[in-house]
Amino acid sequence: MVSKKKKKYSSGEGAQFMTRKAALKKLQLSLKDFRRICILKGIYPREPRNRKRAQKGAGGIKTLYHTKDIKFLLHEPIIWKLRDLKVYQQKIRRARAMREYGKMKKYFRDYPAIKIDHIIKERYPSFVDALRDLDDCLTLCFLFSTFPSIRRVPRDQSMLCRRLTVEFMHAVIVAKALRKVFISVKGYYYQAEIEGQTITWIVPHHFSFEPQTKDEVDFKIMSTFVEFYVMMLGFVNFKLFNSLNLVYPPKLTAGFSSDNDKGLVDKRAYVSERIAAMNLSVARKVGANEVEEFPEIDLFETEDQDPQKLEEAKQEAEKIKFLKTMFKGLKFFLNREVPREPLVFIIRCFGGEVSWDKDHFVGATFDETDESIAYQIVDRPSMDKQYLSRYYVQPQWVFDSVNARTLLPINKYLMGATLPPHLSPFIDKTRDQVYIPPEQRALDDPEYKPPGDDDESDEEIEEASDEDKEEQSAEESETEEQILTKQYKAEVEQDSPSEDDDDDEGDDFEKKKIAKEKKKKMAVKTGIPHKEHPYKKEIEDKQAFRLREKLVRKKHRNLYKSMKAGQEKRKKEIWLLRKKRRLHDEKTKEERKTTKRNQKMEALNASA
């Protein structure tokens, strides 16, 4: 029996992949709807091993998807909703063209809404899975919460992002889950630890919105991502509030009274504004315990039972325990020029109380005249009226204290002082080839002295060290010469006969000489130390390393090459950062010298 000939590209990579054009034809969707459903379902293009086989012999570079992913989309009920939307859009266009406005209103009223609850449950079967994927969600939602109403971003969406992000920040405040903060050009970096998962997100600076002159950013695709992330963040907030015994949606603990605010019209706006201030605690469920407990760390027996690791875990737990209540019992007052929202969020996460001028924003709890205020955060060179009962510090002190996990001395952060460098806490200490700035080294090692301090003394130390090196090398060379000369003199003295010997004692002298020679042959001499050449040793080590590299298996060779390329890239980055820092230090040193010289000249001119 003759077997049927196998068709080309019916198996292997030719059957595993499908082009975007073929996927659109199979699903009978437009490109816009296909992009939307791929974003919602988490399906993205793939890179094949052999592009020519995957593209069935076609040239060029095409967008490829897995065939099983496209077949998976065939059973998605949202596809039918998208088709219904298309039908309704055609009906609305026809009614508008025929000026049948009654029908058009009816179509708008019955316009089908897309629900994506089942997609959230499908993509994140457990709460921990959702927390692991929360970084991009929070970053994009915080970004959209700052947008005004623009053409491609509806106002309702940005308002919903604002409400959900404020709810999430309230949950972090109650859970005291914040661990690290950092200010950069992009915005404020935050890192929280919720149920053992580390979540890092960025909050942009609050500047006035500048509309894009060109369509460089595709807001439509970003808005589709936000549509999914908003639903996801709503589920996460609901779960967090329930686990913390809080009422969801959040409500204020204080009762609503319109007597205090006579001009108040809307109760919902009143509550939402004060919740957005993040200065008032939200309501708990009836019978919920408000006492915070810090359970001791559980120590489980492991196979290795490394006592050092257990001790490090204990110390880390103690530090986090102190960090959660670092600002407890302290009152902070914010000046008008200080960014209010990030400072309120950080101070309240660690147990502090904060307020501001009531004319600046709603939700102020105490005035500037309160004598119990411990710190007033200002960002101006001087103030006319100051209180002796409080410290006037700059905002960076709060961020640096959180990262240091202790209340830092305020000497370097006083009003009008030149601030120290703001160091990033997001440094992976387990990785090698990481650039560590001198200020970070000084914090880690108290004995380390960063360059730039006491330049004259540093130059003297360098000169002294150079002289010591020269003397040491001279001593080494002299010791070798002394050893050789001493050995030579000893041999000469042994070989040379004495002048006072008589002729009668000639035979005895010959015998003694022969005995000495025999003894000399048997004696153990001090060897001359052989100095190894470092350059030759380095060449030998490189040759041995190249031989070991050739032993790498063929299937691991590409991986090894990529690892080496990454090492070289990191090495270059570190070199560039060190060079940049060196140039900066040299520039500051020159500026310091010129200022000192100018001060001396001014003093001399004044005395003359």
Residue with tokens 């079967």: 125
CB-based contacts of 345, cutoff 8 Å, min separation 6: 169, 172, 173, 178, 278
| Token output for 382 | 């001087």
* Dihedral sign of CA atoms 531, 533, 534, 539 in order: negative
Provide the β-strand partners of residue 163: none
What is the Cα–Cα distance from 443 to 56, expressed in whole angstroms?
Answer: 60
* Residue 145 DSSP code: T
Residue with tokens 């360059």: 451
Are 65 and 46 in contact by the 8 Å Cβ rule? The answer is yes
Are 525 and 487 in contact by the 8 Å Cβ rule? The answer is yes
What is the Cα–Cα distance from 228 to 71, expressed in whole angstroms?
Answer: 22
Beta strand 197-204 with 331-334: parallel, antiparallel or unpaired? Answer: unpaired
How many C-beta atoms surround the C-beta of residue 55 within 10 A? 19
Give one word for 60, left, alpha or beta, with left for phi > 0 and alpha for psi -120 to 50: left
Instruction: Please give the radius of gyration of the chain, using alpha carbons only, rounded to the nearest integer.
Output: 38
pLDDT at 362: 85
Grouped pLDDT means (10 residues each) for the chain, 608 residues:
73 88 92 92 91 86 92 89 89 92 90 88 92 94 87 84 93 92 93 92 85 75 92 94 89 59 60 81 75 52 68 82 89 92 93 89 87 91 87 93 90 88 80 76 73 50 46 46 52 49 63 80 75 84 89 88 90 90 90 91 86
How far does CA 75 lie from the centroid of its chain?
A: 40
Give how far Cα 78 sits from Cα of 21, 121, 364, 457, Å: 20, 15, 46, 73
| CA neighbor of 67 nearest in space, from 14, 25, 29, 119 | 14
Are 341 and 331 in contact by the 8 Å Cβ rule? The answer is no
pLDDT at 202: 95
DSSP string, 420-467: PP---S---TTSSS----HHHHHHH-TT---TTSSHHHHHHHHHHHHH
* CATH T-level assignment (fold) for domain 326-426: Rossmann fold (3.40.50)
| Token output for 545 | 């390393």
| Token output for 190 | 């935050």
Provide the β-strand partners of residue 17: 66
Residue with tokens 């001790």: 311
* Residue 556 DSSP code: G
pLDDT at 3: 65
Judged by DSSP in three states, 353 sits in strand
Domain ranges of the chain: 13-109, 117-208+218-257+265-277, 326-426, 554-607
| Backbone torsions φ then ψ of 290, nearest 5 degrees | -95, -5
* Residue 252 DSSP code: B
What is the Cα–Cα distance from 314 to 407, expressed in whole angstroms?
Answer: 21
What is the Cα–Cα distance from 507 to 334, expressed in whole angstroms?
Answer: 109
